[in-house]
Chain A
Amino acid sequence: MTCFHLSRLLALYVTFCATRDVQGARGFEKKVSLMLKEEPENPKCFVESRKDFTCFWEEDEERAGSVDQYSFTYTYQNENSSSCPLRALPAAGGKRLFVCHLNRPQMFVQMDVRVHREETLIHSRSLLIELVFLLNPPANVTVSSMGQKGQLNVSWVAPPLKYMDDSMMYEVSSNTADSHVGKVARVRASSELILRGLQPSTKYKVQVRVKLDGVSYNGYWSAWSDPVFMETLPAELNLLMVSLTLISSFILIAVSLAMLLSQRRFVIKKIWPVIPTPESKFQGLFSIYGGDFKEWLGQTDGGIWLTPEYFYSAECPSPLEVLSELSPGPALPFPPLPPKASRAPTAGIKEDKDAMNGVDESDPALTERWRATPHDHWLMDRLRALHQNQESSLLESQDAYVTLSCNNHGEEGHPDDALEEASPLEEASPLEVLFASGKTALCESHSDLGSALRSSGSGGLSSQCSFEYPNHRAWRPKGPGYTYMAVADSGVSMDYSPMSRGDDIGNVIIYANEYKNEIPGLRRPFLSRQHPDG
């Protein structure tokens, strides 16, 4: 049984030694590769501790000879030279290493090294051994997250070198797991370090390496220690800060709501301005007729359109009485008397003109109306009554009277003439008709008009035609066949200059075709044409 145990122990020991050797060899390889990178001179020498001094150089496999061909001699200052036994080791990339190892190097004294191959000096170097330290990386690197966020506590074990603890310098690198750029912190003669300014809730990779500080001892940076991963603490929510933030936000919201509610109307007006609509001007246009303007015009009395003040912004219109001449014949046109003459002064003039001229116009609707004979009788009676009752009032009023009763014929032969006469005159104003025709009644009125004009002076006959009709008799209806229409005009701007009064009688049409043109819609019920056929 004891043999069995012993053999097992032996096996374990051998395995342990082999592992150590393997680890040692791996460590040596690491250092060799480091030296190859750091040291340009040959041979490359480094000391790992007080008792391990190694020198080596590299040669290509093809050109290298056997170990026996080489000799390594070293000489301390003021001492005799000594020789170092060499050994050859294979290296990566088809190279061979020749290594010299000294157990007890002398420090703080100059050492001269010479390498010979077959009596030929191939390498020569002078160095101080305490200045070529290449230590092992720090062991037992531990990282712990401290109580505060963004901090990590790193601690390690310094290389076991007596007399050199206070000469050591460490570098601690901390990288986040996904980035290659990290922080490097340096610390001297200490075996722990607190990393600050780290991100919370982040995993960090921490490594440490060591080097002697260069005052008494010097050397190369060791290899990085094996990485240690640690996550920093998450960011804590400071209760006080959170509560303060919540309270202040509540207060802000409450204040803003109060302001909004107090200025509700103002805000609504600004955000949601009322779009102006013309509904107020057109009563019933949108609500009843749905925006159909034609319908609305037809159904209502016009409102704004029929008021002359819409155009002239002048005084209120004075009533206009339209008297039309009627002939007893049924074929004669008979314009209907407008029920409210005051509302249609301008149209009445036009109507009267057409009636007097006996001009036909193809308007079937009107022609139908005109053929209603009972209506004619009623009209004549009405007119007579009007003359008799309102004569005085008519004459005394300020209104202007215009008689357009010059054309008494109304015969069919004349309509052509009348038509011809009327057609150019149609372009002119009704008053032109008044002054152009040379009939007696018209002349009378014409002369009266002239006197009235004279009396009015050279100013414009702007507001009211204030000429009277002095000769009442001419007004009397001359027979049942005559119907007189008294046209009261107002709002007519006429410029009668004294010069033009007598001369331009025929051309006294000053005002433009305002009456005629501005109210086209009203023509229809008042246009009177005579159909030759009747």
Chain B
Amino acid sequence: MSYLFLAGLLALLLMVLEWTQPGLATPLRPICDLRVLNHFIKEAQDAEVAMKSCREGCSLSESVTVPQTSVDFDVWEKTNGLEQAQEVQSGLWLLQQALSLLRTSVTNTALHSHIDNSIRNLLSINAVLRSLNIQEYTPPTSAAGLEGTWRASSATDLLQVHVNFLRGKVRLLLLDAQACQQDVS
């Protein structure tokens, strides 16, 4: 009886603490291992392949805004870290919106799992960026006229942009992250 009472008391205490959210969260350990990102990239590629083989019920209802994925290394190296981070985070946000729209547009159930996976992975990348002490950035809501974006009208294009973005800018950002650089040196 006494054990039960103690367990109940402990659970109550934890609930209270969770609810109040006291203090700062402990800083996350930086995720510098790029194998996590590689895993996300591979899953995005699987989704792209699945979309290419889809015949029916796999089209965008409307065009979506997607980020530019092209990387000119010279330009990239000249860009500072903050801008790079902002560019990446806004692109990730745009992709999340676009994939959510695709999820509602696509009726093919096989693709649903792929799209859900991709959305989950994008959120995980945000967490990785947070772990690297990259400041969070949310682009303004009116993203239509944003620089470095364009309108994609087909689901295939969207998923291709998704893959290219992860492989390009996101990866370069993670590679260049200061937190990881300090560990290496």
Contact = CB atoms under 8 A, between A and B. Distances in A.
A215 B38 contact: yes
B147 interface: no
B183 interface: no
B167 A104 contact: no
A15 B120 CA distance: 59
Contact of A109 (B73, B74, B164, B172): B164
Given A108-B165, A108-B167, A109-B164, A216 B38 contact: yes
B170 to A, nearest CB: 10
Contacts of B70: 76-77, 106-109
Chain B binding surface, main DSSP class: helix
A26 interface: no
Interface in A95-132: 104, 106-110, 128, 130
Contact of B164 (A50, A51, A108, A215): A108
A101 B42 CA distance: 31
Interface string B160-185: 10001101110110010000000000
B38 A78 contact: no
Nearest to B157: A77
A106 B72 CA distance: 5
A216 B74 contact: no
Size bin of chain A's contact surface: 10 to 19
Contact of B71 (A51, A107, A166): A107
A110 B172 CA distance: 18
Contacts of A163: 73, 171-172, 175
B132 interface: no
Interface in B123-182: 150, 160, 164-165, 167-169, 171-172, 175
Nearest to B171: A216
A108 B168 contact: yes
A327 to B, nearest CB: 143
A426 to B, nearest CB: 125
Contacts of B167: 108, 130, 215-216
Interface in A62-108: 76-78, 104, 106-108
A524 B14 CA distance: 141
Contacts of B42: 215
Pick from B41, B70, B168, B175 the residue with the most CB of A within 10 Å: B70
A104 B72 contact: yes
A109 B167 CA distance: 10
B68 interface: yes
Contacts of A216: 38, 41, 167-168, 171
A338 to B, nearest CB: 126
Contacts of B169: 108
A25 B87 CA distance: 40
Contacts of B73: 50-51, 104, 107, 162-163
Contacts of B164: 108-110, 128
B90 to A, nearest CB: 16
B41 A215 contact: yes
A469 B28 CA distance: 148
B69 interface: yes
A175 B31 CA distance: 41
Contacts of B150: 78
B50 interface: no
A163 B150 CA distance: 27
A77 B148 CA distance: 12
Contacts of B49: none
Interface in A6-39: none
B38 A109 contact: no
Interface in A117-161: 128, 130
B168 to A, nearest CB: 3
A104 B150 CA distance: 22
A107 B160 CA distance: 13
A224 to B, nearest CB: 27
Contacts of B165: 108
Nearest to B74: A104
A110 B71 contact: no
B26 to A, nearest CB: 28
Nearest to B34: A166
A77 B168 CA distance: 15
Contacts of B38: 215-216
Interface string A39-74: 000000000001100000000000000000000000
Contact of A78 (B68, B72, B171): B68
Given A107-B70, A108-B164, 16 more contacts: A51-B73, A51-B74, A104-B72, A104-B74, A106-B72, A107-B71, A108-B70, A110-B164, A130-B167, A162-B73, A163-B73, A163-B175, A215-B42, A216-B38, A216-B41, A216-B167
Closest 4 CB pairs of A and B: A108-B168, A109-B70, A106-B70, A78-B150
9 contacts: A77-B70, A108-B70, A108-B165, A108-B168, A108-B169, A109-B70, A162-B73, A215-B41, A215-B167
Interface of A: 50-51, 76-78, 104, 106-110, 128, 130, 162-163, 166, 215-216
